[in-house]
Amino acid sequence: MRQILDEAGLPDGYLFTAEHQGGGSLAAMVGHAWDLEQLTRDYDEFIEVFSGEVSSDPLVRVIDLVHAWRRFPWIDPGLPAQFLPAPWRGAAAAALFGRLHAEWAADAIAEWKQLQAPIAPA
């Protein structure tokens, strides 16, 4: 673990490890700490929205996609698979985000560049 901090350029970073000693199951603790049912619903909503009709404007499409996705790193604790419902909808949502962003990014960048182009005098 220390090597990971060193490779990340954080040699003075703090490193903690923990071991579950009892007091209930880890799965129960996870269930009390995070609302995985709500997180699953949030991922399902993302999948539903971006599997359907989206804006024909490439820039709007990418902005909507990134805006909808950007909350997940804040609300998904990134738990090990053993604590997640199977199949984990976060994996499907991440795959959809990655695929759509890869498909749409070039057109959105081109649209942005076109918007930034100087307007020719009349």
For 102, the domain range is 34-122
Number of domains the chain is built from: 1
Quote the pLDDT of residue 67: 97
Show pLDDT as tens, one digit a residue, over the chain (122 residues).
Answer: 677 777 888 777 677 788 888 888 888 888 889 999 999 999 999 999 999 999 999 999 999 999 999 999 999 999 999 999 999 999 999 999 999 999 999 999 999 998 888 877 77
Evaluate whether residue 73 is within a structural domain: yes
Evaluate whether residue 112 is within a structural domain: yes
Number of helices and strands in the chain (H, E): 6, 0
pTM for the model stands at 0.77
How far from chain centre, in Å, is Cα 78?
A: 10
Evaluate whether residue 97 is within a structural domain: yes
Evaluate whether residue 75 is within a structural domain: yes
Evaluate whether residue 96 is within a structural domain: yes
